[in-house]
Amino acid sequence: SDDSDGASYLSIDDEDLTPDNLMEETIFFGEEDAEAFRGISMHHYQQVILPLKNGDAPFLNYTFHSQLRDSGKVRLGSFLAQAEGLKQLHVTFQEEQPQSVGLVFRGPFQDHTLRRFKISGDDDDTRLSLDDWSCISQYLGKAPSLRHLDLNDLSLSRGDLELLASALERAKLKTLGFTGLHMRDDEDDSLGILFSSMNVTKLETVDIVGCGAGVSTCEGLANILRNKESKLEILNIDSNAIDNSCVKVLCQSLAENTSLKVLHIHDNEDITDEGWALFEKLVFDASNLEGIYSSNHTLGNIAGHPRPQLFHANYYRGPSKRGHAKILFLINPSFDFNIEPLVDFDIKMMPYVLEFFGNRVHVNLDNETDSPCSWLYQIIRRWNMPELFSFPSAEKVRLTAKVDELEREMELLRLENLRLTSENNL
């Protein structure tokens, strides 16, 4: 068979190893093979067992059933322990409590070149024993080149995760995928254990979907996002137990993060408008210019947010350009220049402000261009240091006119008072 990259692989399905599929004459290479694999078809022996034995297949897809005898699993395990060239291994369980898993992963293992490992269970009911996970962890612990790990539809305990975490200390994973995991013993939010031990600096994609992840998991993810060396670009936490508290933890870690570009957060019904507003403030803190410029300029897509268009500003060419674009939007949201965010700046900032706006032309949705010349005039005219330019500010002109008007009224009142006094004296 071929995988998606065109590389050859072998596939074992124990369910096919039944007498109905046997050929009358099966030729084995060696007495040990004949004894261990007695009862399987010539097709599976030649196309599956021998390539693994000879190290000719980089991909192994093994569906775990009970039809292959224990002696065959032991023999298969010995081949797996010596398969230094195996690149991908996908094990599928179709029983709630698979038996003899340790026979396949019995070792002893030397360092090998496995790059992708995947375990799939039957819904979320498949439960391996702690001994089984210990054997699997020993195998993974000898895979320093492991880059991709996927666990799907399994029932796990905290102890299982601790074994995995220990095994992954040497690995430099790029992708980590958890789908439909069920944590036993009311430990629904224990996935963060993995992130505390493994090397997370190479992670590019993390999928945690339908696993009941909550605050503890988000705190583990936050440690990844706060890491200055983090390369995480895509985070998928759809269909979990994410609430406003989780959002707060994530936003605090994303404030300084410059790697995450896409966050999937669909089907987390406990997030309210308060939580969604935290994401909005994260990328567009309009409280002041400093806040908006120091906002997150990398996260451009929060799939599942009720107002996803708010994050489109982070699609501009570079982080500095995105900050500038947000400032322009704050100053000129409806193409009616708003000087208020600038008027309290120290006068020493004026040259920088004039340079900023002088080098930019804002293009509106109708592709019309608004010249920045009028902006420069308003900045100078309305800054709170009118004496610097030897003319009064607009506010001072207004107040002066009001004072002049009041003085004229007072003069009229004075003259009227004199007239009335003169009449009374007569």
The Cα 146–Cα 172 span in angstroms is: 7
CB pairs under 8 A, 24+ apart, for 190-194? Answer: 190/156, 190/158, 190/161, 190/216, 191/161, 191/216, 191/217, 191/220, 192/216, 192/217, 192/218, 192/219, 192/220, 192/221, 193/158, 193/161, 193/162, 193/165, 193/220, 194/161, 194/164, 194/165, 194/168, 194/220
The Cα 135–Cα 179 span in angstroms is: 22
Residue type at 375 in one-letter notation: W
Contact 140, 165 (CB under 8 A): no
The answer, yes or no, to whether residue 22 has pLDDT greater than 50, is no
Residue type at 286 in one-letter notation: A
The Cα 315–Cα 344 span in angstroms is: 31
The answer, yes or no, to whether residue 261 has pLDDT greater than 80, is yes
The Cα 78–Cα 74 span in angstroms is: 6
Sign of the CA dihedral running 102, 107, 108, 114: negative
Contacts of 85 (CB under 8 A, 6+ apart): 55, 58, 113
At 293, list the tokens: 């410029």
HSE of 413 in the Cβ direction (CA atoms, 13 Å)? 6
The Cα 126–Cα 216 span in angstroms is: 24
Q: What are the residues facing 13 on neighbouring strands?
A: 63
What pLDDT, on the 0 to 100 scale, is given for residue 356? 73
Q: In 3-state terms, the chain is what percent helix, strand and coil (to 5)? A: 45, 15, 40
Question: Which of 90-94, 219-223, 386-390 shows the lowest mean pLDDT across its residues?
Answer: 386-390
The Cα 255–Cα 299 span in angstroms is: 10
At 242, list the tokens: 């994410």
For residue 180, which of 217, 158, 207 has the smallest C-alpha distance? 207
- Residue written as tokens 């390539």? 51
What pLDDT, on the 0 to 100 scale, is given for residue 420? 87
Higher pLDDT, 203 or 22: 203
340 φψ region: left (φ > 0), alpha (ψ -120 to 50), beta (else): alpha
The Cα 255–Cα 235 span in angstroms is: 16
Average the pLDDT over 237-246 and give the result: 96
The Cα 194–Cα 252 span in angstroms is: 21
Query: What's the mean pLDDT when you consider all of the chain?
Result: 81
The Cα 386–Cα 378 span in angstroms is: 12
311-362 pLDDT, tens digit each: 877 876 666 677 767 776 666 655 566 667 776 677 777 777 777 777 665 4
- Segments of 170-283 assigned E as strands: 175-179, 182-183, 205-209, 234-236, 262-264
What pLDDT, on the 0 to 100 scale, is given for residue 6? 38
Contact 185, 159 (CB under 8 A): no
The Cα 168–Cα 144 span in angstroms is: 8
DSSP 145: T
For residue 238, which of 195, 214, 208, 276 has the smallest C-alpha distance? 208
Contact 107, 135 (CB under 8 A): yes
Average the pLDDT over 234-246 and give the result: 96
For the ranges 112-121, 183-192, 365-374, 394-403, the one whose mean pLDDT is highest: 112-121
Consecutive H or E run containing 13:
strand 10-13
Sign of the CA dihedral running 319, 323, 324, 326: positive
Phi, psi at residue 92, to the nearest 5°?
-115, 130
31-78 pLDDT, tens digit each: 888 888 877 777 778 877 888 888 877 888 888 765 678 888 899 899
